[in-house]
Amino acid sequence: MSVSNSFPSGLYGGRLTIDPKALAANWMFLAGKLAGETECAAAIKADAYGLGQEMAAKTLFEAGCRTFFVAVPTEALALRKVLPDAVIYALDGLFPGTAAHFLEHDIRPVLGSLEELQEWTALCKSTGRNHPAAVHVDTGIHRLGLSPAEFSAAMSDKALLGPFEPTLVMSHLACGSTPDHPMNRRQLDLFREVTAPFAHIPRSLANSAGVLMGPDYHFDLARPGISLYGGRAFDTGFNPMRPVVKVEARIMIVREVPPGDTIGYGAKQTAKRPLRNAVVAAGYADGLLRRAGSTDERPGGFAMIEGHRAPILGRISMDMITLDVTDVPENLLRRGAFVEMLGPHVAAADIAAYAETIDYEYLTSLGRRFERVYGPLT
């Protein structure tokens, strides 16, 4: 167990525990699912989904991962300082006038438009060298990527490409979280069709969901993200991944609420019976989203206290949350004790559903004010 903090533990209102061994185990599990010689990369964008890019990069590299995907160039440059020998791709592509930074630090942009491709190939022509980069072809998500027609024309245009040949051709699934959605097969078929003339170049389609959907989606390289961190790749069904993170908040006060009284801002939650509530020192400023609060019309999320469910009462505030602990044994409600807000017993996907969002948003928002601890979650 290790701790990385600026202040003594007792001064933090919440604690974020991250299990690097679980992270490594999830990557090895996914790598074991891949067909043939498919390489398992890792998406560690957004500070490794909120858990810490440096820790995640070192952990995954030690586990055997050699290719990493981030979003923006600044993430790539920070990662290069940590992993001097890794292959690093920047998914958001080539921002205007930044090519020199990519070359200096051996970062590979994922070229997502014809203009980006033209700028990169001009660079290759000016140096007479093939500088590594990926090309993104849009198979239906309509975000980044060359259209299939643009891709086919560009890849066949020797005058445009000059010495450039991509090190990777990739696309991104729009509906991978719903594995039976017909969009997945349409994208797979289109990706196969448009890349077939260039099949000597490594190809990548699978995110976390694509890994679990089977070998048809694997191609040469997979780039899982959410599953590495214990999140759900699919919206429904069993999640085979180990939890990697636990969020706990400290109890500040326990008090009685008579029936008919209201709890929290806006008086949105009314006590229907005599209640005991516990106020904990974490809120939406710590990434525990306000939308997961409770009202008289709709239930909110919940926390767990040593096996006992504690529903959220009223609105989630910036710095605190009120929990219904009426049915929790009093000896577990000590001032200063920790309550599990997210973790092995409160899945990120489950609590996210109360906030009408996904576990990605929860994970990437967590813990700017929390104590950070690295070790087992139990």
* CATH number, domain with residue 96: 3.20.20.10
Question: Residue 238 contacts by C-beta under 8 Å, 6 or more apart in sequence?
Answer: none
The answer to whether residue 8 is domain-embedded is no
Within this chain, do residues 209 and 326 fall inside the same structural domain, yes or no? no
Looking at the fold, whether 71 and 215 belong to one and the same domain comes out as: yes
Domain count, the chain: 2
Token pair in block for residue 89: 């791709």
> Does one domain contain both 326 and 299?
yes
User: Of 229, 261, 287, at which residue does a domain stop?
Assistant: 229
Write the single-letter amino acid at 82.
V
Q: Tell me the sheet residues that pair with 255.
A: 277
What does the pLDDT average to over 97-104?
94
| Domain of residue 350, CATH code | 2.40.37.10
- Please tell me whether residues 253 and 359 are part of one structural domain: yes
CB distance 52 to 73 below 8 Å: no
In this structure, are 306 and 355 located in the same domain? yes
| pLDDT tens, position by position, 210-247 | 999 999 999 999 999 999 999 999 999 999 999 999 99
Residue 51 and residue 246: Cα distance in Å, rounded?
11
Mean pLDDT across 16-44: 97
7 pLDDT band (50/70/90 cuts)?
confident
Catalytic residue numbers, as ranges: 45, 265
Burial letters 105-119, b for 16+ CB under 10 A, else e = eebbbbbbbeebbeb
Structural domain range at position 274: 245-374
> Which of 229, 260, 278 corresponds to the end of one domain?
229
* 274, 187: one domain: no
Q: Is the pLDDT confidence value at 118 over 70?
A: yes
Q: Among residues 244, 339, 258, 341, which one has the least CA distance to residue 300? A: 341
Verify that 281 and 192 share a domain, yes or no.
no
Are residue 119 and residue 36 in the same domain, yes or no? yes
Last residue of a domain, one of 196, 229, 262: 229
pLDDT in tens, 32-77: 999 889 999 999 999 999 999 999 999 999 999 999 999 999 999 9
pLDDT reported for residue 232: 95
**Do residues 259 and 331 share a domain?**
yes
User: Which pLDDT value is given to residue 251?
Assistant: 98
